[in-house]
């Protein structure tokens, strides 16, 4: 006897409107996020996350799914952290500018240590602005047939190198043996 499972029906969040998708389009219904209830949930999810609760526990406590908890926490982080990062970056850049101005005076007076400090402050500014970020390089590698003459020369050089190394080892052994006989 086959067991038939019914699809779980998600209840909409109170205070929001759900838009049904049009036939033939992919994706779920979209909920408006400007709702005060959603904003309040984002704050609650964030606060509970800070207290160490798991997404599952937060969802159970607030009556929402784990995925919704993740989205609400991410939304709150975006609202709280992103503006502060830019504010901090601006403050740090201004501090670096003031330091550079002071170091200019010290450099003009002949202070050699000020030059090193100036360079370090400039490096810090470059990091703040993202100027030191790695560049993306695209490389295309094509299979190329090796020239037989070049392959022969490489093989000869390797053989000569191996022979030279063997001769040097033998000479070192002879010298070691000869110096050992001299001592006796």
* pLDDT band at residue 28 under the 50/70/90 scheme: very low
Backbone angles phi, psi at 33, to 5 degrees: -100, 0
Instruction: Give the pLDDT score at 10.
Output: 54
pLDDT tens digit string along 56-102? 999 999 999 999 999 999 888 888 877 788 888 888 889 889 999 99
Rounded Cα distance between 17 and 98, Å, is 51
Give the angle 122-128-129 at the CA atoms, nearest 5°: 90
Sketch the domain layout of the chain as residue ranges: 32-129
């Amino acid at each position: 006897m086959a067991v038939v499972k019914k699809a779980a029906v998600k209840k909409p969040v109170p205070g929001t409107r759900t838009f049904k998708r049009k036939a033939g389009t992919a994706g779920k219904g979209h909920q408006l996020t400007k709702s005060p209830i959603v904003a309040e949930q984002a704050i609650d999810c964030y606060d509970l996350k800070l207290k160490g609760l798991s997404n599952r526990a937060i969802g159970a406590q607030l009556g929402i799914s784990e995925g919704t908890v993740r989205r609400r926490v991410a939304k709150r982080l975006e609202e709280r952290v992103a503006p502060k990062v830019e504010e901090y970056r601006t403050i740090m850049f201004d501090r670096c500018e003031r330091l550079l101005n002071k170091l200019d005076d010290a450099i003009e007076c002949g202070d050699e240590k000020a030059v090193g400090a100036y360079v370090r402050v400039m490096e810090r500014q470059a990091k703040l602005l993202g100027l030191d970020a790695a560049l993306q390089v695209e490389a295309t590698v094509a299979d190329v047939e090796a020239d037989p003459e070049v392959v022969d020369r490489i093989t000869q050089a390797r053989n000569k190198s191996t022979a030279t190394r063997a001769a040097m080892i033998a000479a070192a052994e002879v010298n070691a043996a000869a110096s050992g006989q001299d001592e006796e």
